[in-house]
């Protein structure tokens, strides 16, 4: 796909970067600072996310009402979340990571109430925080790497380790939630999540720093920034392909989260029907995701992100199509594990690609704009969830992954390779 590249290690940014040892030491400090805060942020999300539906049920809401609450969260992410995320390009990403931890932590505490208005406010805050999670963290890491004048090849290691620790935090979140919380009591998970998210905000305040954005139109009104980012995406084939594949792949991921349990339960042995070991399967998924992230750390500096992403999209198309043809529990579980392995490759490869193609002065804005179609797709899936069967959802995933493959392959016909023009500032479009 035009522009789907990863920066090779031999790219030079100037002779003043210092020795390789100094570069690596600087990178290690950045990786440590970033991963501490990022892991706290994802742990706070994972530890309470699995109990969201159950807690709404505990508060006395039925499936239809819970569905509407979920839709509100995605709508808030697509609308308010996009606007708030775009402010990071104007005021700095660090303060919006602090806002993420604070707002999401408060949202978790509000879940103690059964009042509908308070629960809706909590869901809106969570939706906004979710947009910040997928825009402000990554944007800060890329701009901080540029501020430190790190070679872009170090982003391969930075984002692959971030993906690894994300999966670790998911597995770690399942331990206290299973062993420490009272049975059928879900509010403690949200209390712990709130505490961890507040620590995330504190960590960003203490461990991160940044300069106030000064270039590229950072003084423009946020609405103009959003419109400018959308216009740029539509005008540049490489950005349009990036945005489409970003939205379709992650929408399919949301569908997968919804469908993997019924898919395995229906295919399980009769004695295990309805008793699939969900915790064990989830841990297996996360182990596969970790393995994928570690493979990317090994090959990401030698294999272009374009090639890796096309392989992920092709493999994902096949592993979602296969369970439609073979009614086997073990085979379907293997296919789902293969998808999670590809997910471990996808996250860092896509982050490196966005680092290459998206200009710094619109980084958070454009990243959040990419997520608007994603949220719309997920809202559509939720709206039809009650009338769609498990094979229908798997077919939907096949179509989305096939479309990703089509757009990446089609984009290869474009001019250029998506690399920055020689001598230009890293990631800062003219």
Do 144 and 30 form a contact (C-beta atoms < 8 A)?
A: yes
End-to-end CA distance of the chain: 22
What is the rounded distance in angstroms from the CA atom of residue 342 to the CA atom of residue 319?
Answer: 10
Listed by start position, the domains of the chain span 25-411
Do 141 and 158 form a contact (C-beta atoms < 8 A)?
A: yes
Per-10-residue mean pLDDT for the chain, 430 residues long?
Answer: 39 47 90 96 88 84 82 92 92 95 96 94 95 95 92 91 93 71 75 95 94 57 80 90 93 88 77 61 91 94 92 96 91 95 96 91 90 88 73 91 88 40 33
Q: Return all residues near 235 (Cβ < 8 A) that are at least 6 apart.
A: none
Q: For position 179, what pLDDT does the model report? A: 65
For domain 25-411, the CATH superfamily is MFS general substrate transporter like domains (1.20.1250.20)
What is the rounded distance in angstroms from the CA atom of residue 340 to the CA atom of residue 304?
Answer: 20
Burial classification of residue 26, based on how many CB atoms lie within 10 Å of its CB (0-12 exposed, 13-18 middle, 19 or more buried): middle
Angle at 6 between CA 238 and CA 100, to 5 degrees: 80
Q: For position 151, what pLDDT does the model report? A: 87
What is the rounded distance in angstroms from the CA atom of residue 360 to the CA atom of residue 429?
Answer: 7
Residue 219's SS3 state is: coil
- pTM (predicted TM-score): 0.83
Q: For position 7, what pLDDT does the model report? A: 40
Task: Give Rg (Cα) of the chain.
Answer: 21
Q: For position 283, what pLDDT does the model report? A: 85
DSSP string, 92-161: -HHHHHHHHHHHHHHHHHHTT---HHHHHHHHHHHHHHHHHHTTHHHHHHHHHHHHTT--TTHHHHHHHH
Count of C-beta atoms within a 10 Å radius of residue 316: 27
Q: Is 172 left (phi over 0), alpha (psi -120 to 50) or beta?
A: alpha
């Amino acid at each position: 796909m035009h522009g789907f590249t990863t920066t090779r290690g031999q790219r030079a940014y100037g002779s003043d970067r210092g020795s390789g040892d100094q570069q690596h030491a600087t990178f290690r400090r950045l990786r440590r600072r970033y991963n501490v805060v990022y892991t706290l942020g994802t742990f706070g999300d994972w530890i309470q996310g699995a109990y969201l539906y159950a807690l709404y049920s505990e508060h006395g809401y039925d499936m239809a009402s819970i569905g509407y609450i979920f839709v509100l969260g995605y709508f808030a992410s697509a609308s308010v979340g996009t606007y708030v995320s775009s402010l990071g390009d104007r005021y700095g990403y660090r303060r919006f990571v602090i806002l993420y931890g604070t707002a999401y932590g408060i949202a978790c505490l509000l879940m103690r109430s059964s009042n509908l208005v308070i629960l809706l406010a909590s869901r809106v805050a969570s939706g906004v925080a979710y947009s910040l999670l997928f825009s402000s963290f990554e944007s800060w890491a890329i701009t901080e790497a540029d501020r430190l004048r790190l070679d872009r090849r170090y982003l391969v290691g930075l984002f692959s380790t971030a993906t690894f620790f994300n999966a670790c935090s998911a597995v770690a979140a399942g331990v206290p939630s299973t062993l420490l919380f009272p049975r059928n009591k879900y509010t403690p998970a949200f209390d712990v999540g709130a505490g961890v998210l507040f620590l995330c905000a504190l960590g960003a305040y203490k461990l991160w720093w940044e300069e106030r954005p000064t270039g590229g139109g950072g003084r423009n009104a946020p609405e103009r920034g959003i419109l400018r980012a959308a216009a740029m995406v539509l005008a540049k084939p490489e950005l349009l392909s990036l945005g489409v594949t970003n939205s379709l792949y992650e929408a399919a991921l949301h569908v997968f989260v919804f469908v993997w349990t019924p898919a395995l339960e229906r295919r399980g042995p009769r004695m295990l029907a309805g008793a699939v070991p969900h915790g064990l399967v989830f841990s297996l998924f996360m182990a596969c995701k970790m393995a994928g992230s570690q493979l990317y750390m090994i090959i990401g500096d030698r294999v272009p992100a374009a090639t890796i992403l096309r392989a992920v999209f092709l493999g994902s198309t096949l592993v979602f199509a296969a369970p439609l043809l073979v009614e086997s529990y073990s085979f379907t579980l293997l296919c789902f594990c293969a998808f999670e392995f590809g997910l471990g490759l996808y996250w860092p490869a896509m982050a490196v690609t966005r680092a290459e193609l998206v200009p710094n002065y619109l980084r958070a804005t454009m990243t959040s704009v990419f997520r608007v179609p994603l949220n719309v797709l997920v809202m559509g899936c939720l709206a039809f969830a009650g009338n769609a069967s498990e094979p229908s959802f798997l077919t939907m995933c096949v179509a989305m992954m096939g479309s990703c493959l089509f757009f990446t392959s089609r984009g290869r016909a474009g001019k250029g390779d998506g690399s920055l023009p020689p001598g230009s500032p890293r990631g800062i479009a003219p």
